[in-house]
Amino acid sequence: MATIFSRIIAGEIPCYKVAENDKFFAFLDINPLVKGHTLVVPKQEVDYIFDLSDEDLAAMHVFAKKVALAVGKAFPCKKVGEAVLGLEVPHAHIHLIPMQNEKDMLFSNPKLKLTDEEFKAVAEAIRAAF
Domains of the chain: 4-128 (3.30.428.10)
Displacement of CA 70 from its chain's centroid (Å): 12
Q: Catalytic pick from 37, 91, 93, 95?
A: 93
Cα 74 to Cα 100: distance, rounded to the nearest angstrom: 14
Output DSSP code: residue 91.
S
Tell me the pLDDT tens digit for each residue of 9-42: 999 999 999 999 999 999 999 999 999 999 999 9
Tell me the pLDDT tens digit for each residue of 79-113: 999 999 878 899 999 999 999 999 999 999 999 99
User: Which residue from 17, 99, 9 is spatially nearest to 45, judged by alpha carbons?
Assistant: 9
Query: Using CA of residue 19, residue 6, residue 11, residue 28, what is the dihedral sign?
Result: negative
93 has catalytic annotation: yes
The pTM assigned to this predicted structure is 0.96
Cα 39 to Cα 5: distance, rounded to the nearest angstrom: 10
